[in-house]
């Protein structure tokens, strides 16, 4: 068995021609979302629509720029009914993006000061509208979107690189760290 190359597309940012820092599939599988650095006022997110042919409309850039500086380290779609995704960046911010119309997404800053360093990974809990963020500041935050505040805060011994919820046990998530150990947490939500 082998992989076959299908095609390529230039997904560099619109202004400074920067490369994507992270990518995520839309849950329907028909488009790919790319995040970039927030520096120099350039585009922060692009959408590659795989249903459109090469040329106009295949690659679009979102106008909103909620991250204020540095790299946007993580993008992931939430496992909820409503189509939305979350980004986390070097500016310590976690931003929720809701779809308003086709290819029109509006950001809402969830928090900018719960982390004291870069947000490296974000994820959504499936059974509750809680967004997990893991930071280089060694913190793991569970932010309740409906209540609008942190529901869970924990600090470990090394910087967090990413966070991954368990798809079967909704109270379990894994945190990748910058050390040899791996951390698995059980949190009753």
Specify the pLDDT at position 182. Answer: 61
CA distance 55 to 36: 21
Domain ranges of the chain: 22-186
pTM: 0.89
Burial 9-35 (b: 16+ CB within 10 A, else e): eeebbeeeebebbbebebeeeebbbbb
What are the tens digits of pLDDT across the range 60-94?
889 999 999 999 999 999 999 889 999 999 999 99
Nearest Cα residue to 165 out of 121, 135, 107, 109: 121
Instruction: Provide the terminal-to-terminal Cα distance of the chain, rounded to the nearest Å.
Output: 42
- H-helix segments, 33-189: none
Across 101-105, 142-146, 162-166, the highest mean pLDDT is recorded for 142-146
Cα-trace Rg, the chain = 17
Minimum mean pLDDT range among 24-28, 98-102, 144-148: 98-102
The CA–CA distances, whole Å, from 6 to 3, 22, 50 equal: 9, 20, 12
CATH architecture, domain defined by 22-186: 7 Propeller (2.130)
pLDDT bin (cut points 50, 70, 90) of residue 40 is confident
Cβ–Cβ under 8 Å, residues 37 and 73: no
Specify the pLDDT at position 186. Answer: 60
Q: What is the mean pLDDT of the chain?
A: 88
DSSP assignment, residue 71? B
């Amino acid at each position: 068995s082998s992989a076959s190359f299908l095609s390529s597309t230039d997904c560099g940012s619109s202004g400074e021609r920067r490369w994507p820092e992270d990518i995520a599939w839309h849950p329907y599988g028909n488009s790919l979302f790319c995040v970039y650095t927030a520096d120099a006022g350039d585009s922060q997110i692009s959408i590659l629509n795989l249903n459109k042919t090469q040329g106009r409309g295949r690659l679009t850039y979102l106008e909103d720029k909620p991250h204020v500086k540095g790299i946007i380290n993580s993008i992931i779609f939430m496992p909820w009914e409503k189509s939305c995704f979350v980004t986390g960046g070097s500016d310590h911010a976690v931003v929720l993006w809701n779809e308003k119309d086709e290819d029109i997404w509006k950001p809402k800053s969830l928090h900018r000061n719960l982390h004291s360093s870069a947000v490296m990974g974000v994820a959504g809990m499936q059974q509750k509208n809680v967004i997990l963020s893991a930071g280089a500041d060694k913190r793991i935050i569970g932010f309740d979107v409906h209540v609008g505040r942190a529901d869970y805060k924990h600090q470990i011994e090394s910087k967090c690189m990413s966070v991954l919820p368990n798809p079967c046990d909704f109270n379990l998530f894994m945190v990748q760290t910058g050390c040899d150990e791996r951390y698995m947490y059980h949190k009753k939500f």
